A and B are shown apart, each in its own frame.
Chain A
């Protein structure tokens, strides 16, 4: 148990800058002489570009450049993030005549103003040879591959334990045993952070006679990949590229890699000799970046008559693109939610004609938990058991897949505490048995979730000033999860100094190498890195290993102007080569299987739905969520993050679906009007709580990830609550009011 005293729950350290609008995001940059860019995009989904007429666009007064094609010596692919490269996909627009997906950029126009650039982009005329494509999982021409064969890497192998098929077959004939066999569909969804994708690119002379320096201002979760990726694409040294991204206006996985527009804007800026800004319009974002791929998940789950789970098979078909294999790891969590001794997972990938899908908050875990936790609810109903009791009875301390212990698992406590806070004991089990005073049908549902406990190599620097102030830098990104706040709290608590004396800095490749911040490992990597740096700092300051430090006096005693130290943290058991990957801007997370233990974050969600009597609108007046994310590094921001995850789950369960045109491809509802996300009026009371017990093994601070697990299971709890209210089971998201009429 950690014994140090943290400062009281402080406010978010950048809250003031956020409420005053002074915090700067990537495209807030307005350098002198800047020009504006706009994209022209493909209006067919597959085929070949046979002619591009840019005459009218180029003739428009105010247009400086119409970029339609970059030669190979000017622009190459930045590679695919999951294939040794940097991009969300390997396919780079404007390098050839192939059209791989609707909405693919075919030209970039640069003009004096945004309006001229936009008008000119609309004047770009293209002719295509169009080919039929496959756009859905079932379309003719959609090619299904077994992932473990297509990507023969251990991390993407199928999860297998015991003999699931044998036990399932036996259970089907055993009296008293119950087998659930169901298919769950999840649509494609788009991350839609409020900040649009965009780039401001500026070149300047290095003054050293060498190549010019490119500065990229861009909201990204992966400044290292943007730096090294753009350098690769343009054929320049990575130390000639600076990426500045101190604040990201929401990432949610969309901004976790190199986007296709960044190099295009950089080339345009170089050609016109002036800074260029491109903000990708919302409608184009639906095709110009990744998305959560559509999945179909087949679950078979067997239990004996007492409710002991005996075996499960989880088979997943996940959409990918023609040009990349975006792997799925849905079964990583469904094999761990319970102590099921016999388990078999199968991941298949289905090639369709889209941009490459990618990560979106809880990228696999959200849909996997929706499917599996719906099946568990079906099992509870079939057994006539209480869904909380059934889950508690199948708890485990040991990872059923590896046989190793979980470093910490307080899921049962999450369930018990959540049930207590929610008032679960007052639930009457019969579906449709609860009514509100206004006649609304009331349903109470529960579901659990987990998320792999990963950690990534992270660089940190701490600098102590003679004034007593301390500056702390980390090679990670702040996208609202509260990283800066957790950094400040960690330094202040360790040194026993006021939080106001600590200045945090993130998102700047000029300072430190930056690792991708995703998978909830941002804080779980940054804080241990800071802890290591603080230990170094204490050595350099010649102060004891623990206890409060008079920083000003200690710096003065060294006789130096300031004392600066650096440290790099790696996940448990990671080989030193991961540092090379960190320095090359490549992802190198470790986990959830660490040497001798397995780490997951855990959560339980309790949801009340009310289905209004006249128009059958599905409302969610209250949710109780209890999470085990190890020690809570920053209570204020952690609470907000958990509530935000719940909002995401409600939104995914009841609102969000990226509609695909099965004939012509592309996403039809490509705007925030037609792609509804939860609004304020959709959200009721969200009561959150934390176990707040440090994980004893993952890192010295005892912190595990929170951002993703917070969403996992919410959609299942909503669907289970809808079943409780109506007696009807919905195995496809989102659930709409017309479903419950």
Chain B
């Protein structure tokens, strides 16, 4: 017989924290449209995009900055939107996967290259990979396969589509150089 051990497993605080009634008014641009919202300051840009703006192309794979599924561009730079407080987007221009194709629906060259190289399987990591791929080329970090692999390693793909992803990004990088 095991001796029962009485354990008191208490949550972080014994008293309830003060109710969080404070909201913050935030304005920014998303895919060339102005957005104004009253936000709980704890809300991540990812949750605001997905749950409030219904831009669900951006994915949540970890919520901790480990997987890259939530990658978007803020003022042209790639960020993991799960670690970006939405209030921090104040005054910025955010681009999500929904905003990279052309006005007539023509795919961005990196999107097209992902299709051509079958750089995806389940597709769940794909929006983040595409956003990272575009930025990686802009940064000049897709000069050769090894460099591209290194600079795309913040974006996990559990389906293992890495060879196609590198091929797609490199193909566009080579073309934009040439």
Contacts and interface: CB of A to CB of B under 8 A. Distances in A.
B161 A18 contact: no
A14 B126 CA distance: 12
Interface in A44-62: 44, 47-48, 50, 56, 59-61
A673 B66 contact: yes
A147 interface: no
Given A30-B54, A195-B61, A680-B153, A19 B107 contact: yes
A248 B159 CA distance: 12
Contacts of B51: 30, 36, 113-114
B152 to A, nearest CB: 5
A685 B16 contact: no
B159 A644 contact: yes
A194 B107 contact: no
B7 A282 contact: no
B114 to A, nearest CB: 5
A132 interface: yes
B106 to A, nearest CB: 11
Nearest to B56: A28
Contact of B114 (A19, A250, A279, A677): A19
Interface string B59-93: 11111101101000000000000000000000000
Contacts of A128: 6-7, 9
B125 interface: yes
Contacts of B20: 61, 116, 119
Contacts of A271: none
A19 B111 contact: yes
B121 A481 contact: yes
A278 to B, nearest CB: 13
A643 B160 contact: yes
Contact of B122 (A19, A281, A480, A677): A480
A24 B59 CA distance: 11
Contacts of A685: 163
B57 A279 contact: no
A680 B152 contact: yes
A250 B69 CA distance: 13
A22 interface: yes
A320 B122 CA distance: 29
A637 B127 CA distance: 19
A14 B125 CA distance: 14
A129 B121 CA distance: 46
A678 interface: yes
Interface residues of B, number: 75
Contacts of A250: 121-122, 124, 158-159
Interface string B120-141: 1111111100100000000000
Interface in A484-518: none
Contacts of A47: 4-5
A247 interface: yes
A43 interface: yes
Contacts of B40: 113, 115-116
A553 interface: no
B24 interface: no
B124 A125 contact: no
B34 interface: no
Q: Is the interface of B mostly helix, strand, loop or mixed?
A: loop
Select the residue from B66, B116, B150 with max chain A CB neighbours within 10 A: B66
A679 interface: yes
A44 B9 contact: yes
> For chain A, which range describes its interface: under 10, 10 to 19, 20 to 34, or 35 or more residues?
35 or more
Nearest to B164: A640
Interface in A109-124: 113-116, 119, 122-124
Nearest to A128: B7
B9 A125 contact: yes
Nearest to B113: A19
Nearest to A678: B160
B158 A194 contact: yes
A19 B160 contact: no
Contacts of A383: none
Select the residue from A19, A119, A645, A686 with max chain B CB neighbours within 10 A: A19
A528 B18 CA distance: 61
B45 to A, nearest CB: 13
Select the residue from A43, A114, A124, A481 with max chain B CB neighbours within 10 A: A114
A207 interface: no
B33 interface: no
Contacts of B5: 47, 129-131
A48 B7 CA distance: 11
Contact of B162 (A28, A114, A281, A680): A680
A424 interface: no
A196 B160 contact: no
A131 B10 contact: no
A713 B61 CA distance: 28
B144 interface: no
A390 B21 CA distance: 72
Contact of B12 (A14, A15, A122): A122
B111 A672 contact: no
B67 A194 contact: yes
Interface in A629-676: 636-637, 639-641, 643-648, 651, 671-673
B63 A282 contact: yes
A130 B57 CA distance: 44
B2 A681 contact: no
A18 B120 contact: yes
Select the residue from B121, B160, B161 with max chain A CB neighbours within 10 A: B160
Nearest to B160: A647
Contact of A113 (B43, B114, B115): B43
A132 B2 contact: yes
29 contacts: A11-B116, A16-B107, A18-B114, A18-B123, A19-B126, A20-B111, A28-B50, A50-B6, A113-B43, A127-B6, A127-B9, A128-B6, A128-B9, A131-B2, A196-B60, A247-B123, A249-B124, A250-B158, A480-B121, A480-B123, A637-B118, A643-B164, A644-B161, A645-B160, A671-B62, A672-B66, A673-B64, A673-B66, A680-B155
Interface of B: 2, 4-13, 15-17, 19-21, 40, 42-43, 47, 50-51, 54, 56-64, 66-67, 69, 96-98, 101, 107, 111-112, 114-116, 118, 120-127, 130, 146, 148-150, 152-166
- A-B residue pairs, 5 tightest by C-beta: A21-B57, A647-B160, A480-B122, A249-B124, A18-B123
Given A122-B12, A646-B160, A682-B153, 6 more contacts: A18-B126, A194-B122, A194-B157, A671-B62, A672-B156, A680-B153
